[in-house]
Structure 1
């Protein structure tokens, strides 16, 4: 017979179960009674987040990458034989067919307002959704994007899967690396920066709620479109010319290469008086570096070198 005092000692030695846990996802509270076992991630940045947390064993697939992006060997190696369920958006039927119990996605990152795939439409299939923080701007006014928003997603995914300490250690490492990268940046006169994602008739760019705004600011710049209350959106060329960026950040993905985008801007007479074009000041970020996820820290390092190198 175990004495009461010994029983209490044994009980105290057993770690408390992490679940159920409740996390904030956009404007929703989502409760998980247990860590998901059959997760699906959408897009390369969210897939990269899952891999950075070593959650491969909890994944049954990913979606929305091969349509426009050639994955780095490091990401492919970590994925191993985890399949891509759809090259573009994964339908309800695809997710249900994979017997998924969790979908890490976002608005315009695998889901669309009023569309076929939303947290509400997946609920009858037993699929819970965590929404990428950057994508929540469609819900109305929110503060501009910061590096903290990327950390929040990692910490929340850690809580959902019961690996909170692992997620915290990862974020602590990112914070320390970011502090080291940015310690000598003079912020007294931020560099004016324009993000060129795509489009010739009208450019697709990042507004204040897009991750590039946070990356640019961390590197000592200012997004000339940070007054636009969107994450990613189309604007006109006129305000770009008027605001005269000193640096242009190219997002490299899809059928039009970074080199072609730069050539377009340098070859168009309408842009000849833009300081960045005149002085040939372009920096390139890959899609996975420009969207929220683990690659954002080294994206800051890359831009800081481009911004301030003599």
Structure 2
């Protein structure tokens, strides 16, 4: 039996990157090429763990999957396992995913525009539910979540996207994408698409490594400070992305310094006086996808004008110098392949001429 342990946070890299191909049980089998030169099939049973170490074992690939939101749905689509998804909560907006992925996503049954109601989830007919939220049934969760006993009674295995669900519980700040890569790798193992997962992860690493090489010699003190302005979370009291949030890793890898990197957790409401005191060099206009380029541009314009016209923010260095980045919220704050693309895009803006 080969046990695939699903670890969250930065431990994913330290522990032999346990979910990446090649880190098996020492028997020399599993991930090597088959005689025909193709990657070998997944070696079931496969075991994954949750944030607290509880184990879930799969004797075969699941056939009916429900996703809690667009993050795990997008991963499955990119892995080529989208035909197994029978429903989702928090669906991606039309046009928010590229090309064919968007067409596939729009065909997935929407069980809820937000958190899937408990009875609808338990009665969905799924044999696997992929949870992006951080409840772990320990408080602070999303809605009236089923208990593990209820999942079991309904015949539904329950696993987590640990890069998001376990982030707030992590002992260390999130400064790289190893947890996201581990999620992709683990879903590949669970769904029998490990070769596709490896290709996705390798592509992410290639982009991030190129950025790291280009900006790596820049001293920490000389790296520009950066504020993610979550415009859609409200302007009366800003919501900061803290050091356990994926956005902190994206910002750090891009060669910038998150002005709220000293905040332990994933998100925290702060005051505008806190933003003013940190006076960022750059501000990302975090706008959620509206479904079209025109609608997105309008939202970016609105966010910029708000900062330029508000008495509390118009004097910020980034605002006075017009240092804004128009990059969508989802690809920055939600786990996925595009996190690496965002690292690249931020770095190109902050280090013109250094990042190709």
Given the two structures, how large is their TM-score scaled by the length of structure 2?
0.75
Q: Which residue of 2 aligns with 1:157?
A: 187
Q: Which residue of 2 aligns with 1:4?
A: none
- Could you tell me how far apart the structure 2 residues matched to 1:283 and 1:191 are? 13
- Could you tell me how far apart the structure 2 residues matched to 1:145 and 1:205 are? 16
CA shift digits 1:35-68 (9 cap, x unpaired): 11111122222211111111112111222126x7
Residue 143 (str. 1) matches residue 165 (str. 2): no
Q: Which residue of 2 aligns with 1:241?
A: 276
Helix, strand or coil at the partner of 2:326? strand
- Could you tell me how far apart the structure 1 residues matched to 2:133 and 2:117 are? 14
Q: Which residue of 2 aligns with 1:204?
A: 239
- Could you tell me how far apart the structure 2 residues matched to 1:113 and 1:163 are? 30
Runs of 4+ in 1 over 6 A off after TM superposition: none
CA shift digits 1:108-166 (9 cap, x unpaired): 59995384225624332222222222221343644324211110110111111122232
Offset of residue 282 of structure 1: 1.0
Q: Which residue of 2 aligns with 1:52?
A: 78
Residues 272 and 312 in structure 2, CA contact (< 8 A), matched pair in contact too: no
2:331 to 289, 297, 303: 289
Residues 39 and 100 in structure 1, CA contact (< 8 A), matched pair in contact too: yes
Helix, strand or coil at the partner of 1:104? strand
Offset of residue 89 of structure 1: 1.1
111-120 or 153-162, which moves further after superposition? 111-120
The 1:42–1:187 alpha-carbon spacing in structure 2 relative to 1, beyond 3 Å, is: farther
- Could you tell me how far apart the structure 2 residues matched to 1:98 and 1:222 are? 43
Choose 1 or 2 for highest CA Rg. 1
CA RMSD across the alignment: 2.8
Helix, strand or coil at the partner of 2:132? strand
- Could you tell me how far apart the structure 2 residues matched to 1:109 and 1:181 are? 34
- Could you tell me how far apart the structure 1 residues matched to 2:201 and 2:142 are? 34
Structure 1 unaligned spans of 5+: 1-11
Residues 53 and 158 in structure 1, CA contact (< 8 A), matched pair in contact too: yes
Paired residues for 1:1-310 under 5 Å: 18-27=43-52, 28-65=54-91, 71-72=96-97, 74=99, 75-79=101-105, 81-107=107-133, 113=141, 115-118=143-146, 120=148, 121-132=150-161, 133-139=163-169, 141-185=171-215, 186-188=217-219, 189-197=222-230, 198-253=233-288, 257-290=299-332, 291-309=334-352
Q: How many residues align?
A: 298
- Could you tell me how far apart the structure 2 residues matched to 1:226 and 1:80 are? 36
Residues 134 and 145 in structure 1, CA contact (< 8 A), matched pair in contact too: no
CA shift digits 1:235-269 (9 cap, x unpaired): 22122111111011122117892222221111112
Helix, strand or coil at the partner of 2:262? coil
